[in-house]
Amino acid sequence: MRDLVLIVDDVEINRMILREILIDQYDVIEAQDGAETLDILFKQNVRPTAILLDIIMPGMDGFEVLRAVKNHSETHKIPVLFITAADSDTNESRGLKAGAADYVSKPFNPDVVMTRLDSCISLMRYQTELEGLVEKKTAEVTKTYEQTLEVLATIIEYRSLESGEHIRRTTMLTQIMVNEMLKYPHYREILLAQNYESIVKASALHDIGKIGIPDNILLKPGKLTDEEFDIMRTHTSIGRDIIDSILKTLPDNAMYLKYCREICYYHHERWDGKGYPTKLKGEDIPISARILSIVDVYDALVNQRCYKPPFSYDEAVNIIVEGSGTQFDPNLVEVFLKTTETFRQLQESLQD
């Protein structure tokens, strides 16, 4: 099948000459201005392999058309070659900066036009192929990572450190919090920059460090002594150490495991700096861990633990609100309050 080239020029003679130059090797369609170009691309949904685009045209000029092509997800990869009248001005460099793949000058030299067009198309193909490979590779890495997490979660569950339901609920509550945060531009920016899906997945491992806590402390009904509590607290740094050793064997998963590490190590830090193990304060505490501390406490409150009966939803919400600005990030508590109904529904469908 032959590639299709769209020629955009307001002068028919120029289009006819280009058509004649291209026709042995390409199928050609023509547009006489910007409006017709947009109609062909976005109304008729024609997808040319490349576009030859005149700059100076009545109505929309070439730069505006280029912007429209580059701003649309379905056309932004199409190489656009500007048609310029040589020696006239700085249109060549301006066009290249605006995202044109190359340019051809009037008077057209048929060999030059063909060579530049061919190489722009080859380059685009090569790039698309590479992007496909990267996507495939990334999917493989993600899969490995998810399998790693599943294995670890199974270990936690098997050792009865936490019930499987608590782990599943934590993940889901974290997902609900993240979904709510995405509605705020401030958090949206932060989360999109941080690959937030990984935060959600990593939340399942927040208590993995409890593997290193002796059963007589971990499963003790009632209050822990100060000494026992000191040992209990080490589950944060044990968790970090476990993730660090995994990082050594699976360096490809560094980005994902980074969140596991943060969450394990910092999910008992407090907004006012009185938490453990490092007494980090405020926004110095990674956002993943700040989310987790709310989610973890809430879930612990509304479910039964070996050391306490369940609280009601309203009591649990009140305790979180009371901790706003001391134990918890006050902004995140505000986000949390928007999710309480969803949290409650989830709790009711997933009781321990």
Q: Which is nearer to other proteins, 24 or 227 (by Cβ)? A: 24
CA-angle at 123, arms to 119 and 127, nearest 5°: 175
Examine residue 59 and tell whether it contacts other proteins (CB under 8 A). no
What DSSP element (H or E) covers 283?
none
Number of residues that make up the chain: 352
Examine residue 306 and tell whether it contacts other proteins (CB under 8 A). no
Whether residue 107 has a cis bond before it, omega within 30° of 0: yes
Q: Which is nearer to other proteins, 107 or 222 (by Cβ)? A: 107
Among 4, 29, 56, 337, indicate the residue that binds other proteins (CB under 8 A).
56
Residue 54 main-chain phi, psi, to 5 deg: -70, 150
With CB under 8 A as the rule, give the number of residues binding other proteins: 22
Q: Which stretch binds other proteins (CB under 8 A): 7-15, 149-157, 177-185, 261-269?
A: 7-15
Shortest approach of other proteins to residue 132 CB, angstroms?
37
State the Cα–Cα distance between residues 74 and 63, nearest whole angstrom: 18
State which of positions 181-200 bind other proteins (CB under 8 A): none
Examine residue 281 and tell whether it contacts other proteins (CB under 8 A). no
Tracing tokens 């593997």 back to the chain, one arrives at: 211
CA-angle at 257, arms to 217 and 296, nearest 5°: 45
Count other Cβ atoms within 10 Å, centred on residue 220. 15
State which of positions 108-167 bind other proteins (CB under 8 A): 108-110
Shortest approach of other proteins to residue 338 CB, angstroms?
54
State which of positions 10-39 bind other proteins (CB under 8 A): 10-14, 16-17, 20-21, 24
Examine residue 87 and tell whether it contacts other proteins (CB under 8 A). yes
* Pairing relationship of beta strands 27-31 and 50-54 according to DSSP bridges: unpaired
Burial label for 90, CB within 10 Å (0-12, 13-18, 19+), is exposed
Q: Which stretch binds other proteins (CB under 8 A): 104-112, 137-145, 161-169, 314-322?
A: 104-112
State the Cα–Cα distance between residues 281 and 300, nearest whole angstrom: 23
State the Cα–Cα distance between residues 80 and 76, nearest whole angstrom: 9
Q: Which is nearer to other proteins, 24 or 226 (by Cβ)? A: 24
Shortest approach of other proteins to residue 14 CB, angstroms?
6
Shortest approach of other proteins to residue 23 CB, angstroms?
9
Examine residue 85 and tell whether it contacts other proteins (CB under 8 A). yes
Q: What DSSP character marks residue 209?
A: G
Chain residues in the site for other proteins (CB under 8 A): 10-14, 16-17, 20-21, 24, 56, 58, 85-89, 106-110
